[in-house]
Amino acid sequence: MIKAILVFNNHGKPRLSKFYQYFNEDMQQQIIKETFQLVSKREDNVCNFLEGGSLIGGSDYKLIYRHYATLYFVFCVDSSESELGILDLIQVFVETLDKCFENVCELDLIFHADAVHHILAELVMGGMVLQTNMTDILARIEEQNKLVKQEAGISAAPARAVSAVKSMNIPQQIKDIKLPDLPQAIKDLKF
């Protein structure tokens, strides 16, 4: 069984959290924080398995994670899951996201958190792996999106237009994003 699926960025900001066992919100945040601290201090060339998260699970549970560019994908699983299998599942998940968002990046996950949830729901259901075949998954997602479009129909057009207009200034906002103060970063580099 999968106990939780977490996606957060390199700074520990949650981008997706799915718990298959109930924790209240404070606890969830703590778990995300702890998991981030555990995972982020590991270098990229060490193994992708981690034991000893004290908040989630016990000795039977493992954290299996992958690090893609700016995002960590962490699965907390128990011993009935195959470690390498889950690693593959993460890969399937990310590739599916990539297909759905056409070159997925962190921004897609930020602005379409709900869509990511819907995609995940086609892979994992209630903590159990539902489907691992990417073509099947994509087909299901496509059909559901079609359904949503149908329902929206003509009445949604104005709303879409408005949100399109609102989204227009995204490039401007990207420019506005504060960059980390580079001098400091450079100072930290040691040769």
Partner 1 sequence: MALKKVKGNFERMFDKNLTDLVRGIRNNKDNEAKYIAQCIEEIKQELRQDNINVKCNAVAKLTYIQMLGYDISWAGFNIIEVMSSSRFTCKRIGYLAASQCFHPDSELLMLTTNMIRKDLNSQNQYDAGVALSGLSCFISPDLSRDLANDIMTLMSSTKPYLRMKAVLMMYKVFLRYPEALRPAFPKLKEKLEDPDPGVQSAAVNVICELARKNPKNYLPLAPVFFKLMTTSTNNWMLIKIIKLFGALTPLEPRLGKKLIEPLTNLIHSTSAMSLLYECINTVIAVLISISSGMPNHSASIQLCVQKLRILIEDSDQNLKYLGLLAMSKILKTHPKSVQEHKDLILACLDDKDESIRLRALDLLYGMVSKKNLMEIVKRLLGHMERAEGSLYRDELLFKVIEICSQSSYLYVTNFEWYLTVLVELIQLEAGSKHGRLIAEQLLDVAIRVPVVRQFAVNEMTNLLDTFSISSQSNSMYEVLYAAAWIVGEFSNDLEDAERTLNILLRPRQVPGHIQGVFVQNVTKLFTKLATTCLENKDVSGLIRLCDHALEKLQSFSSSNDIEVQERANASCILIEMLRSQFSKDSSYHKRTTMVALSTDGVENLPELDASTIPAIIPTLAIEIVQEMALLFDGELIPVAPKAQRKVPLPDGLDLDEWINVPPEDESSNSSQEDKDELFVSAAHNDSGALSKRRKSEELTPEQIERNRMARLIEQSHNPHYIKSSPSATEMNKQKGPSANNTSYNVDQYDNIDEIPISELSLDVPLQIGVMKRSDRYLIQEKTMSKEKKKHKKSKKSKRSKNKVAYSSSESEDDSKPLHIVNTIMDMPEGVALSDSEDKDCKFDPNDPHRALNIELDIPDLEETKGRYHEVKPAPQNQNNNSQTLINEIDSKNKTKKRDKKKSKSKVNDVEELERRNKDEDSVPKSHVKSKSKKKSKSNANTSNTDLLDISPEMIKSFAKTTLDDSISTVEKRKKEKSHKSKDTSKGTVSVKKEKKAKHHRSHSKEKKHSILESSIGGYEEAIGISTPSKEII
Of residues 31-50, those binding partner 1 (CB under 8 A): 34, 36-38, 40-50
Out of 74, 77, 167, 191, name the contact with partner 1 by CB under 8 A: 167
Tokens for 24, please give them: 């209240």
**Residue 154 φ/ψ, nearest 5 degrees:** -75, -25
Nearest residue (CB) to partner 1, 48 versus 76: 48
Out of 2, 4, 5, 69, name the contact with partner 1 by CB under 8 A: 69
Rounded Cα–Cα distance for residues 86 and 94 (Å): 12
**Binding status of residue 138 toward partner 1 by CB under 8 A:** no
Q: How many residues belong to the site for partner 1 (CB under 8 A)?
A: 102
Rounded Cα–Cα distance for residues 63 and 90 (Å): 12
- Which residue type, as a one-letter code, is found at position 115? A
Binding mask 95-134 for partner 1 (x = CB under 8 A): x--x----xxxxx--xx-xx--xx--x---xxxxxxxxxx
**Binding status of residue 59 toward partner 1 by CB under 8 A:** no
Out of 71, 74, 76, 77, name the contact with partner 1 by CB under 8 A: 71
Out of 24, 59, 168, 183, name the contact with partner 1 by CB under 8 A: 24
Min CB(187)–partner 1 separation in Å: 10
Out of 59, 75, 85, 119, name the contact with partner 1 by CB under 8 A: 85
**Binding status of residue 179 toward partner 1 by CB under 8 A:** yes
Give the angle 75-136-22 at the CA atoms, nearest 5°.
30
Contact 93, 64 (CB under 8 A): no
- Which residue type, as a one-letter code, is found at position 44? D
**Residue 56 φ/ψ, nearest 5 degrees:** -110, 125
Contact 6, 80 (CB under 8 A): no
Kindly report the number of other CB atoms within 10 A of residue 130's CB atom. Answer: 14
